[in-house]
Structure 1
Amino acid sequence: MNIIFRVDASTNIGSGHVRRCLILASYLRNRGANVSFICREVIGNLCCLLEDAQFIVHRLPFDHSSAGNAPHDMRVGDDAISSAAIIDKHGPFDWLVIDHYGLDQRWEQAISQSVRNIFVIDDLASHSHSCNALLNHAYLTGLHKRYNSLVAQNTHLLLGPKYFILNPAFHIAKSNAIPLASRNQRILIFFGGADGTDETTKAIHSLQQIASFNIDVDVVITRQNTHGDCIRTLVQNTKRYTLHEDLPDLSRLMARATIVLGAGGGTIYESLFMGLPSIVVTTAEHQTAAARQLHQSKLILWLGSTQSIATPAIRDTIKSWVSKASDKLPLEPGKLMNVVDGQGLARIEKVLENS
């Protein structure tokens, strides 16, 4: 198969879209596919990350209305024309994979004559799409119904955690990890690539207030995090804290953690696969519905959205967990691991091959 991805990263939208596409692209390449990328050179792009992984990246030039900096207000027509020119020159392609909140039905229809099939990776379930297949890994009932009015009837829908794009490194880490009950208390903090609301700093301040509990803490940030200097200073001045930057994945840290404190994105599903309890603060509106349902199913502890959660709420929740004063945490690892089986990549490949 010949496959090309259209995806961006930036200081605004973070790194998650590119990183999950890199996981999928690497898997497909290892299975014999020819894979390349189209990315715009917005501030905080990850073109070099993809090129370091030996993928060809066709770069679209930066402009201030580019998708990465204004994901819902980009010049769709211009982007489609530029992308189509690249695809026509370097194709034909069996599949175009799109992972981008700024690209919807208009863009897909504009480029449809240049590709055989279009595969959309979506988290929003709020925009119309013109595609052959669509993936949304959210743990959310009623997803099929939500897409009835957003895609054509013959669109192949891949919905739910069974299609979650999991880095194969997690399989190795899980098989080598010691049992959760045997680990020393250790918290992993990660609020996504950009963390525009600086939840990482809020979390560190929360844990500093219960330093007497002697908890080890791993803090993870990426180059997209504009608060990096402040976070580095905080970590350097706090005992038992370790800062990690631009990690390829969280598998090694999750294998030694006892709880994850983070946002409502893909990290939740990685934690579920590893059987790790998660305390979640959602940082985007589209994360709320799934986080609420996971919370109601007793699979995570969702505190609320970033606008409504202050430092004391995080502090008190962690304190209750550490002191075993709350019946909400820790959750049952076996129940957590039943949600994500880690076979999403194989299921996606099967759809691509059979279409």
Structure 2
Amino acid sequence: MKIIFRTDASTEIGTGHVMRCIALAQTMKDAGDDVTFVSAGLEERLKKEEMEAMGIAAKPYDDEDARETARHAKQTGAEWVVVDGYDFGADYQAALKREGVKVLFLDDYGHAGSYCADIVLNQNVSAREEWYKKKGPETRLLLGPRYAMLRREFRAWKDRRKERTGPVQNILVTLGGTDPHHVTAQVIDAVGKTAFPGTVTVVIGSGNPHLRELRHQAAASKVSIGLVANASDMPVRMAESDFAIAAAGTTSWELLCMGVPFLTGAFAENQVAVAAALEKQGLAKNAGWYPDISEDDLVRLISQLIHDEHWRAEHSRKGIETIDGEGVVRVLQAMNATSAQTPTSELTPPLTVRDATIDDARLLHEWANDPVIRESSFSPDQISWETHKKWIEGKLADKNSKIFIGMDGDRPVGQIRFDIRNDGDAEIDIHLAPEARGKGYGTPLIEEGLKRFFKATTSGAVHAFAKTDNDASRKAFLKAGFKELGKETLRGNPVYHLVFHRP
């Protein structure tokens, strides 16, 4: 397969669009595909990656730009054009589609308004399906961090990641490739006033115009600060770090994957929702709008987090669980499926799981009392709110119970619960949201839930019991790898007994 990437980098735009396209391009090259960038900016980086780059003669981002890009695609035999940048909108997608090429459109906050691309990818934790109500009937959405695209050098660390425990000895500061608001200087001052006794590494990108000033500032600091320009070994630097200060851009997914707990914030409008969602989902602490935060507040935040060992350990664990490093592979699989004209109905829905919290109590109560759920349960009676509230509080506090929420982007689609028995094995309970039934979520929810459960416990096996008149549940368990042991009677109901052993 041959692919054209249309994206740009500059001091104003930043480098994130090109860098995440490089992540996808690396994976494509590794799979034997040919890639070409039609872009401005980061030419040296593309040359280092041995990726062909060409400029564009047309006025950027208008219909003629799209036609010229499509001509490049046709001349090189490229089937796909990957588009990444906030100046590319609905008209640009339509112009490419009129030229007969397939389009993968990278998005962060629904900026285009309407979408006719073959695939729209939003890898952020803040991604919302409602942003894409105006999409074509054949447009497929890939939403959420399940599709976070990491470069090859980060994926190579997948099996060497570690959760952060113990005191902070090394802090990493990385605020993007350009830092137009000069936030790095602000952070260096704040870190200097924490009297941190360890080592601080400040990484700045090739597009940062303040290198000389930052060098003087770092040298004058009361703490040990090393300044690195245009680092080529970011996975190593992250692996050596116990805590980081970053912005809510592409670096977020890299830090989460590497298990580095971090303080995030925004200095671009597209980062605001991402920073808020990172904190809401327990993945980072949000400082807010960096240019407006006072120095005293920033010093207080940094000091608080580097001294909170429990917070860092918990956020490190959640980061590793959230970003598995395989997002870019899933994107390429979706492109291959679209090229093969696989019907949308046959594609597996995107799914992640997260820990349930008390904030989910009302939603779980609504699901539990749904008539279909009550009919398939062992007790058909409706559950009062008081009874449910007491039950959920007990389950969340019980170390032998694990409850996870299945998420499609930011939309909850079901719950899965594991209760550990006295013999060490566990029993599983699953149900889907009413609007999620019949859409293929059952098996992925079971698969993702099992991964989380086995990682968090030492249980050797999980047992499932499906009523004999609930064949859909039985099939979902079998498809997820459960083995059927036979029929039994449970609480007066005939059931299938199935089991899944720890891999």
User: TM-score if structure 1 supplies the norm length?
Assistant: 0.88
RMSD: 2.2
Q: Quote the Cα distance in structure 1 between the aligned partners of 2:167 and 2:298.
A: 22
SS in 1 for 2:256: helix
AA aligned opposite 1:117: K
Q: Quote the Cα distance in structure 2 between the aligned partners of 1:201 and 1:115.
A: 48
Q: Quote the Cα distance in structure 2 between the aligned partners of 1:306 and 1:323.
A: 21
**What is the Cα deviation at residue 207 of structure 1?**
0.8
AA aligned opposite 2:331: I
Q: Contact 2:7 / 2:85 at 8 angstroms: preserved in 1?
A: yes
SS in 2 for 1:288: helix
Q: Choose the corresponding residue for 1:152, options 120, 123, 136.
A: 136
Q: Choose the corresponding residue for 1:139, options 125, 130, 145.
A: 125
Identify if the C-alpha distance between structure 1 residues 83 and 174 changes in structure 2 by more than 3 Å, giving closer, same or farther: closer
- 1:162 maps to which residue? 146
Q: Quote the Cα distance in structure 1 between the aligned partners of 2:100 and 2:245.
A: 41
Q: Quote the Cα distance in structure 2 between the aligned partners of 1:133 and 1:179.
A: 34
Q: Contact 2:26 / 2:151 at 8 angstroms: preserved in 1?
A: no
For the pair 1:51 / 2:34, whether they are aligned, the reply is no
Q: Contact 1:300 / 1:331 at 8 angstroms: preserved in 2?
A: no
Q: Contact 2:73 / 2:80 at 8 angstroms: preserved in 1?
A: no
Q: Contact 2:165 / 2:312 at 8 angstroms: preserved in 1?
A: no
Q: Choose the corresponding residue for 2:231, options 227, 244, 247.
A: 247
Q: Choose the corresponding residue for 1:83, options 69, 94, 113.
A: 69
Identify if the C-alpha distance between structure 1 residues 160 and 351 changes in structure 2 by more than 3 Å, giving closer, same or farther: same
Identify if the C-alpha distance between structure 1 residues 160 and 20 changes in structure 2 by more than 3 Å, giving closer, same or farther: same
AA aligned opposite 1:351: A
Q: Quote the Cα distance in structure 1 between the aligned partners of 2:100 and 2:198.
A: 52
Q: Quote the Cα distance in structure 2 between the aligned partners of 1:156 and 1:132.
A: 6
**What is the Cα deviation at residue 81 of structure 1?**
3.7
Q: Give the unaligned 5+ runs of structure 2.
A: 339-503
Deviates more, 1:199-208 or 1:14-23: 14-23
Q: Choose the corresponding residue for 2:56, options 60, 63, 80.
A: 60
**What is the Cα deviation at residue 244 of structure 1?**
1.6
- 2:432 maps to which residue? none
- 2:97 maps to which residue? 112
For the pair 1:97 / 2:82, whether they are aligned, the reply is yes
**What is the Cα deviation at residue 82 of structure 1?**
3.2
AA aligned opposite 2:137: Q
**Runs ≥4 residues deviating over 6 A:** none
- 1:71 maps to which residue? none
Q: Quote the Cα distance in structure 2 between the aligned partners of 1:332 and 1:147.
A: 30
- 2:481 maps to which residue? none
Q: Contact 1:28 / 1:349 at 8 angstroms: preserved in 2?
A: yes
**What is the Cα deviation at residue 273 of structure 1?**
1.4
AA aligned opposite 2:56: L
**What is the Cα deviation at residue 140 of structure 1?**
2.5
Q: Contact 1:278 / 1:300 at 8 angstroms: preserved in 2?
A: yes
Q: Quote the Cα distance in structure 2 between the aligned partners of 1:96 and 1:199.
A: 34
Q: Choose the corresponding residue for 1:126, options 111, 118, 122.
A: 111
For the pair 1:336 / 2:289, whether they are aligned, the reply is no
Deviates more, 1:286-295 or 1:28-37: 286-295
Q: Give the unaligned 5+ runs of structure 1.
A: 68-73
Answer 1 or 2: which has greater strand percent: 2
User: How high is the sequence identity, in percent, across the aligned residues?
Assistant: 27
Q: Quote the Cα distance in structure 1 between the aligned partners of 2:30 and 2:179.
A: 32
Q: Contact 1:280 / 1:303 at 8 angstroms: preserved in 2?
A: yes
Q: Quote the Cα distance in structure 2 between the aligned partners of 1:348 and 1:160.
A: 12
User: TM-score if structure 2 supplies the norm length?
Assistant: 0.63
AA aligned opposite 2:39: C
Q: Which structure carries more relative contact order (alpha carbon 8 Å, separation 6+)?
A: 1
**What is the Cα deviation at residue 176 of structure 1?**
3.7
Q: Contact 2:80 / 2:104 at 8 angstroms: preserved in 1?
A: yes
The count of residues paired between Structure 1 and Structure 2 equals 336
**What is the Cα deviation at residue 289 of structure 1?**
1.9
**What is the Cα deviation at residue 210 of structure 1?**
1.9
Q: Quote the Cα distance in structure 2 between the aligned partners of 1:173 and 1:23.
A: 15
Q: Quote the Cα distance in structure 2 between the aligned partners of 1:114 and 1:57.
A: 21
Map 1:1-355; keep pairs closer than 5 Å: 1-40=1-40, 45-60=41-56, 67=60, 76-88=62-74, 90-127=75-112, 128-140=114-126, 143-149=128-134, 151-176=135-160, 180-181=164-165, 184-211=168-195, 213-238=196-221, 239-248=223-232, 250-324=234-308, 329=312, 331-355=314-338
Q: Quote the Cα distance in structure 2 between the aligned partners of 1:302 and 1:113.
A: 42
**What is the Cα deviation at residue 11 of structure 1?**
1.2
Deviates more, 1:249-258 or 1:330-339: 330-339
SS in 2 for 1:346: helix
Q: Contact 1:4 / 1:97 at 8 angstroms: preserved in 2?
A: yes
AA aligned opposite 1:52: K
Q: Quote the Cα distance in structure 2 between the aligned partners of 1:113 and 1:259.
A: 48
